[in-house]
């Protein structure tokens, strides 16, 4: 029983360390990535304020406002 508790504590500690590392890398990525103001406005309109929303747009390589304009008003 004691060994199981120690094992769970170790796993918990490792998971917290991984989460901390991931958050640090996300903050670094946010500093490196520049998003055009017009895109940020559209993100706010559609409530994509979260990191996940920004990453989805970046991942899909939607980087210029003309493309988004065509999607919205095309």
Neighbours of 50 (CB within 10 A): 10
**Considering only CA atoms, which of 30, 21, 19 is closest in space to residue 58?**
30
Give me the pLDDT at residue 71, please. Answer: 56
Of residues 64 and 1, the one with the higher pLDDT is 1
51 has pLDDT over 60 = no
Of residues 74 and 15, the one with the higher pLDDT is 15
Provide mean pLDDT across the span 37-43: 67
17 has pLDDT over 80 = yes
């Amino acid at each position: 029983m004691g060994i199981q508790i120690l094992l769970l504590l170790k796993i918990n500690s490792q998971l917290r360390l991984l989460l901390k590392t991931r958050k640090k890398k996300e903050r670094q990525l946010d500093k490196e990535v520049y998003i055009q103001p017009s895109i940020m406005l559209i993100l706010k309109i559609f409530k994509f304020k979260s990191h996940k929303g920004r990453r989805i747009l970046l991942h899909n390589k939607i980087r210029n406002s003309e493309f988004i304009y065509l999607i919205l008003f095309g």
